[in-house]
Amino acid sequence: MVESEENMKLDLCSIILDNPVIPASGTFGYGREFAEFYDINRLGTFSFKGTTGERRFGNPTPRIAECQQGMINSVGLQNPGVDAVINEELSEIAKIFSKPVMANVSGFSIKEYVDVACRLALEEQVGWIELNISCPNVHNGGMAFGTDPHEAANVTEKVKRALQSQKEMGGDKPLIVKLSPNVTDITEIAVACEAAGADGLTLINTVQGMRINLKTGKPVIAKKIGGLSGPAIFPIALRMIYQTYEKVNIPIIGCGGVSSAEDVLEMMMAGATAVQVGAANLVNPMICPEIIDGLPLHMKKYGIDNIADIIGGAH
């Protein structure tokens, strides 16, 4: 049993988190590798790898490019498919994680989003559905749904309605929509998703970028363009969270370049209720417990008695 401090607790769509730290989807697998380093029950929760209807092998390699202050990925939603996630991964997660987990759902059609979200939401361990309409690495899916407010609202509404229809079976889990920064005005998409029934938002996913190999004169990544994450995108994420907080009334999960306890506090002051840590897990597998350990010290340093009090405090 992991002890948690009362003044670090937060309410995320009526589920209490022990602290705001959540490893981001795609950087934490299903938790197994990290559980070898520390008790992952110390986390607020974690978001597992984006799940699609069928198994996917992902994009051709190379699909990673390193950069100063970050990395570019073009993984292409590699995952074992929803059947394997339900039949194999969730039972493994149960052995190492006793809290509600966040199920990241990806797709290439509205039907796929609805089917996968509904199936995962019926699983007892799943606390929230995180609808990924922002993957920049696949054609005709992911970000294609998240860069147009009408498309974003449409898929959100269909998934929300389908989740509500399974309320009696316990399958009406809170719907969090993960947004893309690769748009002119993220607040337009955020407002559309809220109006369509989203219970929360995660922002941001990766920022489109590329590298060229000077020896070959060709793009490093096989698919040429990928998504940039890491400290380089922290100020972009912060700006988008700040702007979105002023336009919506649902909780925002901040994500993008977080690598310290101070980053977490800054994102919360911008408007985040909880904060996802992504690329930093790949650099230092202990980063999340280090951030959790660092939070009380930094709260004291900045005179913060209760972490929930600082949400949106910069406005």
Which residues contact ligand SIN by CB under 6 A? 26, 50, 73-77, 132, 134-137, 205-206, 227
Whether 118 is a known active-site residue: answer no
Kindly state the smallest distance separating residue 132's Cβ from ligand SIN, in Å. 5
Q: Of 13, 67, 135, 288, which one is the catalytic site residue?
A: 135
Kindly state the smallest distance separating residue 16's Cβ from ligand SIN, in Å. 27
Kindly calculate the radius of gyration of the chain based on its CA atoms and give it in whole angstroms.
Answer: 18
Q: Which residues contact 58 (CB under 8 A, 6 or more apart)?
A: 75, 76, 77, 78
Three-state SS sequence of 44-103: CCCEEEEECCCCECCCCCCCEEEECCEEEECCCCCECCHHHHHHHHHHHHHHHCCCCEEE
Kindly state the smallest distance separating residue 49's Cβ from ligand SIN, in Å. 8
Contact 195, 248 (CB under 8 A): no
In the complex with ligand SIN, the residue whose CB is nearer, 237 or 261, is 237
In the complex with ligand SIN, the residue whose CB is nearer, 20 or 26, is 26
In the complex with ligand SIN, the residue whose CB is nearer, 45 or 52, is 52
Residue 267 has phi, psi (to 5 degrees) of -65, -35
In the complex with ligand SIN, the residue whose CB is nearer, 160 or 178, is 178
Kindly state the smallest distance separating residue 153's Cβ from ligand SIN, in Å. 19
Q: Which residues contact 48 (CB under 8 A, 6 or more apart)?
A: 25, 28, 29, 30, 31, 85, 89, 93, 101, 102, 103, 104
User: In angstroms, what CA-CA distances link 147 with 29, 150, 183?
Assistant: 26, 9, 6
Rounded to whole angstroms, the Cα distance separating 2 from 18 reads 10
Rounded to whole angstroms, the Cα distance separating 255 from 235 reads 11
Nearest to 244 by CA among 168, 290, 186, 301: 186
In the complex with ligand SIN, the residue whose CB is nearer, 75 or 198, is 75
In the complex with ligand SIN, the residue whose CB is nearer, 197 or 226, is 226
Kindly state the smallest distance separating residue 264's Cβ from ligand SIN, in Å. 21
Rounded to whole angstroms, the Cα distance separating 259 from 252 reads 18
Kindly state the smallest distance separating residue 180's Cβ from ligand SIN, in Å. 9
DSSP one-letter code for 279: T
| Active site amino acids | 135
